[in-house]
Amino acid sequence: MKKFFKKDGSNQVDIKRVLIILAIMVLSITGVGYTMSFNQVLIIDDGVEIEARTRKDTVREVLAENEIDYISQDGIYPGLESPIEDQMTVQIHRAVNVSIEVDDRAIDLLTPAENVEKAIEEAGLKLGDNDHVSAPLDKALEEGMTIKITRALDCTVNVDGQTYELATTAKNVGEVLVEANVSLKEEDKVNYDFTEKVHNDMKIVVTRVTKEIIEEEESVSYKTIRRSNSSMEVGKTKVVQSGKKGLNLNTVEVTYEDGVEVNRNTLETKVVKKPVDEIVNVGTRVIASRGMSGSGSYRTLTVTATAYSSQDPGVGTRTATGRTLQRGIIAVDTRVIPFGTKIYVPGYGYGIAADRGGAIKGNKIDVAFNSRREALIFGRRTVTIRIYD
């Protein structure tokens, strides 16, 4: 057998070298194996990155190893009992206090949600297509944050013959009209005040008001003036001046609501032509009843006849037409028998309608006598009189 070591002193030096090399190799192999048994884990704690080398088995153990505290409401992904893998990422979303105001109530949450949308979902709320949220849905939550949700309300706007249906979060009627692109003029009307709070199924009506100025001709009636004429016999009339209608030119403001006229207001009146009064002379000369005779056409009327004289208390000596009160004068209701009309009264004779009285209304007459005694004798009676044209 060949000898490996020499017997001289050099053999001992070689043995030492070999042993040192072997020791180094063993240590190197052991170190590599130990190093390779660690897992690299990235912990992101609310955006702060922490790199960890660990031989722990679960997320819970890794967090404990790195002295990272948490509460049950914090969001840890993956879960605490998830096994550790090399190059693994563990995310921690710290829970924050937020308040969600909706439907006249407040929902308080301690949540690890990533953003506003997730917090709303966690609160068990659903958003309508037109609901308004006070913050962007993708906005990250902040401690003490208040999220306001305004529910859209259904309403209609009637304007210009059209009906528009809206789901709106507007606060008041004025904002609804802006949202509906409804422009208003100063005269237009709305059935609610602009500051009126919007409620569900609200019906807003806009009435368009327009005005125009026009000119109109107006016919003016003439008056008939009756003048007593003592040279003419009672019952006779004569037109001494014919009446003519006048003409006015009116400036008128016409108001329309949704195209329908609702009001007219005369702004100015110009007299183009004044009316001409009709003047009629009425005879007042009385012929004594004994000599008076009825001629011409007449009509009959059944009336209640009473009598009076200038000797009665409170009765003067002048009639309503200015004549002297005496026999032959008859008081009438001029709506039934006009002044100046010749009348025949059975039991009295002929007379002329030339006076009126407070109690003489309708089919009543009061015949005049020269004395109170004669009037009392006549009394009160129902008679059929003749009224001459």
Looking at residue 209, its pLDDT comes to: 97
Looking at residue 161, its pLDDT comes to: 93
* Alpha carbons 126 and 102: distance in angstroms, whole number: 11
pLDDT digits (tens, 9 = 90+) for 324-344: 999 999 999 999 999 999 999
Looking at residue 133, its pLDDT comes to: 93
Query: Over pLDDT 70: what percentage of the chain?
Result: 87
* Alpha carbons 84 and 246: distance in angstroms, whole number: 111
Looking at residue 4, its pLDDT comes to: 42
> Is the pLDDT score of 8 beyond 90?
no
Looking at residue 1, its pLDDT comes to: 43
Residues 282, 227: contact at Cβ < 8 Å? yes
Q: What distance lies between CA 345 and its chain's CA centroid?
A: 69
> Is the pLDDT score of 204 beyond 80?
yes
Residue 243 CB: number of other CB atoms within 10 A? Answer: 16
> Is the pLDDT score of 33 beyond 50?
no
Q: Sorting pLDDT into bands at 50, 70 and 90, what band is 283?
A: confident
- Residue 140 CB-density burial (10 A; 0-12 exposed, 13-18 middle, 19+ buried): middle
Distances (CA, A) of 108 to 29, 117, 127, 128: 58, 15, 18, 21
The full 3-state SS of the chain, as one line of letters, equals: CCCCCCCCCHHHHHHHHHHHHHHHHHHHHHHHHHHHCCEEEEEEECCEEEEEEECCCEHHHHHHHCCCCCCCCCEEECCCCCECCCCEEEEEECCEEEEEEECCEEEEEEECCCEHHHHHHHCCCCCCCCCEECCCCCCECCCCEEEEEECCEEEEEEECCEEEEEEECCCEHHHHHHHCCCCCCCCCEECCCCCCECCCCEEEEEECEEEEEEEEEEEECCCEEEEEEEEEECCCEEEEECCECEEEEEEEEEEEECCEEEEEEEEEEEEEECCECEEEEEEEECCCCCCCCCCCCEEEEEEEEEEEECCCCCCCCECCCCCECCCCEEECCCCCCCCCCEEEECCCEEEEEEECCCCCCCCEEEEEECCHHHHHHHCCEEEEEEEEC
Q: Sorting pLDDT into bands at 50, 70 and 90, what band is 175?
A: very high
pLDDT digits (tens, 9 = 90+) for 95-127: 899 999 988 899 999 998 889 999 999 899 999
Residues 334, 361: contact at Cβ < 8 Å? no
Q: Sorting pLDDT into bands at 50, 70 and 90, what band is 40?
A: very high
